[in-house]
Amino acid sequence: MIFEFLITQRPRSLQGKRSSLRTWKNTVKTEAQKIWTGTLLSEDLELHLTLVYLYDRDPVDIDNIIKPIQDALVGLIYQDDQQIKDVQAHRRPLLQEPFDILNFPDLLRQRIYTASECVYVRICQSKTLESYL
């Protein structure tokens, strides 16, 4: 793993108002800056983005939160969002689904205990395609 962080606010959709989307991207970047201590990753490094969106009511479409998060990290973590070669995104209700949290990352496990909406973001180096299939 290269980097992980947690966004403790409800995500905004790519389909939303521009001002709301801009605010959301700033929130994502601010949360990432709290944790990221590295330099900008090399542009030839291929990356895998994992998102886990835990919601308590009226979820945002998972496909509409991917792009704003990717865009918010450009210039901070990676040079161009084209470096993201693989995306894995999950949306789950907080209170309706039992979780076996033993294998969850610590950041996500802590948030499940509080039963609060969040988006977990992890960036890893991409693997070969056949390793995902």
Question: With 70 as the cut, is the pLDDT of residue 9 above it?
Answer: yes
Q: Residue 50 — left, alpha, or beta (φ > 0 → left; ψ -120 to 50 → alpha)?
A: beta
| Residue 47 pLDDT > 70 | yes
Domain hosting residue 52, numbered range: 3-132
Assign 35 a pLDDT band (cuts: 50, 70, 90). Answer: very high
Per-residue model confidence (pLDDT) at position 98: 73
Cβ 40 vs Cβ 78: under 8 Å: yes
Structural domain total, the chain? 1
CATH at residue 66? 3.30.1330.70
Confidence check: pLDDT of 99 > 90: no
Strand runs labelled E in the chain: 3-7, 47-55, 84-93, 118-125
Tokens matching residue 55: 């919601």
| Short-list 127, 124, 126, 105, CA closest to 46 | 126
Q: How confident is the model at residue 82 (pLDDT cuts 50, 70, 90)?
A: very high
Query: Over the chain, what is the mean pLDDT?
Result: 91
Q: Is the per-residue pLDDT at 97 higher than 70?
A: no
For the segment 46-52, the average pLDDT, to the nearest whole number, is: 97
Q: Which residue has the tokens 């973001």?
A: 121
| Average pLDDT of the residues in 103-115 | 82
Residue 119's contacts (CB-CB under 8 Å, 6 or more residues apart) are 6, 7, 11, 51, 52, 53, 54, 65, 69
Of the pLDDT bands very low, low, confident and very high (cuts 50, 70, 90), residue 17 is confident
Q: What does the pLDDT read at residue 13?
A: 81
Question: What average pLDDT does the segment 100-104 reach?
Answer: 82
Q: Grade residue 113 by pLDDT with cuts at 50, 70 and 90.
A: confident
Per-residue exposure over 107-120, b if at least 16 CB sit within 10 Å of its own CB, e if not: bbeebbeeeebbbb
